[in-house]
Amino acid sequence: MGELDALLSPFSIKSMTVPNRAVLPPMGTGLANPDGTASDALLAYMKRQAQGGVGLLISEITAIATNGLVLKKQLAAWDDAFLPGLKQLAAVMHSGGGKAAMQLHHGGRESAYMLKKGMAIGPSPLPSLIYGHPPREMTLQDIDEIVAAYGSAAARARAAGFDAVEIHGAHGYLITQFLSAISNQRSDEFGGDFKSRARFLFEVVRSVRKSVGDDFPVLLRISAEEYIKNGYTVDDVLTILPDLIGSGVDIVHASVGTHGSPAGITSAPPEFDVGFNVWRAEKIKKAGPIPVIAVGRFNDPRPANDVIARGEADLVAFGRQALCDPDYLLKARQGRYEDIRRCIACNQGCIEREMFEGKSVRCAINPETGMEIVRPAGPAANPRKVWIVGSGPAGLTAAFEAKRLGHDVTVFEKEAQTGGNIRYACKAPHKEIYLDWIEFLAKQVKDAGVPIQMKTPVTEPMLTEDRPDVVIVATGGEKLVPRIDGMDQPHVFDAWQILGETVNPAKAILVVGGGLIGMETACFAAARGSDVTLIEQLPSSPVPKFTSHGYSLHKYLRQAGALLRFGCTLKSITPDGVVIECDGQEERLSSFDQVVIAVGMKPRNELKAFLAEKNIRHVVVGDALKVRRIMEATEEGARAAWEL
C-alpha cells in the first residue's frame, strides 16, 4: 500500500461520495458581513481552502436563529434572504473538487455577544462557564421554535447546493448545554437523566432529517466527552447512540470538551499528542456501528492515514492545520512533507483571537489566512532592493513574502543563527515545535533564493554606501535590565542565559518576573529538576489561565511544586539571599543558588533614527516596534512586504 492510500481513498454515505477522507472541520472565521451574509473575504478564504483538495469541507458555524450568534460577523441561514450568498459559498467550496457541508449552529449561553444584548437563551438560567452571566431559560415554545429553525436552515443548505449538513452539538453550545447536567437542570421532559437531556438533540436531528429527506447526509459534531468536572463521558454518549442513529444521524464527528473545559482542549495546545482524541471516535465507531470523523491536533497526513488504515475512524479532520497550510494535502500527495508548514497549536490567530479579542480569523504563522483578498498575488510592478534587518519571525516572513513578489531581498542577521527570540521561546516544555517552525521558515526563505548574511550587523556606513530602496527593521526585542542593588552578584543571571543553555539552572532558583518569559524560564528550570520560586510585582499573573498555553504553564508549575508569589517586588540581592517587598512589608529570603532576572523585553530599533535622517524608506515590524506575540510579528512582516 502507498503511504496515504487510506486517507486518499473515496468514502460514500447516502447521496454523497467524497474523493478523499481529509476533512476541513467547521471553524468560525468572523469574516461574514455584519448582516450574516457571505462576504467577499469569506468566499476568498473558503476558495483558498478548497484549492488544497480536501475531500469534505464543512462551513463555519452558521447561525440558525437571531439569538444564536456568537460572533458579530457570523454566517447565517435563518431566512431565505441568505440563500444567494450561501449558493456562492457552496460553489467556492466545490471549486477544489471536494464536497461541501453546512454546519448548523446555535450558541445558547456561550455567547458574550448575545449575553451583552440580553438575548442569550439556554436550557436553564445558569451562568456561562466562560462569561459568567446567565441566559434566559428557554420555554417549551422556545424549544419548538429552535428545533424548527434547525430544520428550516437545513432545507436552505440543500437548496443552496450543499451536499450535506452538520449539526453542531459540541463545545458547550446550545445542544451541549442541554446534554450537560452542569447547564441543564430542567425538571420537565428536557431535563433529568442523560437520555432525557438528549431529547432536545433527538428532536433537532429529526427536524433536520425531515427537512432534507432520507438521501441527504446528516452529520453530528458532538463532544464525545465533556472533559470537565461532573461532565458527561463517552460512555454516556454510547447510551444514546442508537437513538441518534434512529433519529437520522449518518456520521458522528467526535470532538471533545467545551470552551469551559480546562487546558483549552477543544483547540488543544502542543502538550497534547497528535491524535490524542482518536480513542473516543474509535469507541463510538465500534459501538454504532456508524462512520466517524476523528479530530485531535493532526498536523501531518501520515498519522491520519494510519488511523483510517487501522479502522479507528473513517475520516480525519485537520482544522488548525488547514489554517496553517491549506496545501498540506497537495504537498503530501507529492511527497513534499518537508514543505508542509505544521501547526504549532499556539491558538493566537484562531480560537483565542476570535473568542477573547472579537476579531476575524488569522494564523500566527501563515499570514495569508483571513487575508486572502489583501495578500497580493504578485509579481510587484516595481521590484525594489529590500534589506531586512533581523531573522526572527517578522524578518523571515517579510523576506519570504517580498521575494515571492519579485523583490531583490537580502536578510542581515547579527547572530550566528536565525530565529531571533524563538530560539529561547522554544525551550519551555512542549514548545519544541516552535523551533521546528522557525527552522522551516528559514529554510523556505533560503530555498526561495534569499541570501541570509549571518553575523552581519547592519551599520550606518553600509546603508550609506549601498543605499537600499527599502529597509524592513525586524531587529526584535532586547532584554530589560532592572536597576537592583546586588545585580553584579556572581549567582545572578538572566532568562536568556538559562533558556540559551549557556548557564545551567541550579537546584534552588528564584525567578524574578511572572510574565511569559519568567513563566517559561521557571518551567524550563523545573523540568530540569530545579526547586523554583517565582515572584511578580503585579497582584495577579500577567499570563492568563484562560489561554491554553497560560493554563498549561500554570499547571506545569503547580505540579512541579513551584511557589508563585504575586504582588512582590525585588528590592535587593545579597550573597546569601534577596530582599523582597510584599504588600508593603519587606521580607528576606535565603537558600537560593541562583537569581534569574526575567522581567521582559523592550524594542530594539536603533537604526530607525538614522534611516529617517537619511530619508531611506523603512518600516519597523514585530518586537522592534512593540514587544508582542508571534501573531503580530508575522502579520506585520508580511504587510511590510505586501506594501512595498
Catalytic sites, residue numbers: 173
Residues 244, 531: Cα–Cα separation, whole Å: 52
Residue 599 grid coordinates: 522581567
Task: Write down the H helix ranges in 163-313.
Answer: 174-179, 194-197, 199-212, 234-247, 278-287, 301-309
3-state secondary structure of 314: coil
Query: Which amino acid appears at position 356 of this protein?
Result: F
3-state secondary structure of 57: strand
Buried b (16+ CB within 10 A) or exposed e, 309-320: eeebbbbbbbbb
- C-alpha closest to that of 481 among 598, 572, 577, 592: 598
How far is the C-alpha of 352 from the C-alpha of 545, rounded, in Å? 12
- Taking residue 528's Cβ as centre, other Cβ atoms within 10 Å add up to 14
Cβ count near 581 (within 10 Å): 15
Burial of 461 (0-12, 13-18, 19+ CB in 10 A): exposed
3-class SS string, 126-186:
CCCCCCCCCCEECCHHHHHHHHHHHHHHHHHHHHCCCCEEEEEECECCHHHHHHCCCCCCC
Q: At 206, list the grid cell.
A: 429529526
Q: Between β-strands 452-453 and 601-603, what pairing exists: parallel, antiparallel or unpaired?
A: unpaired
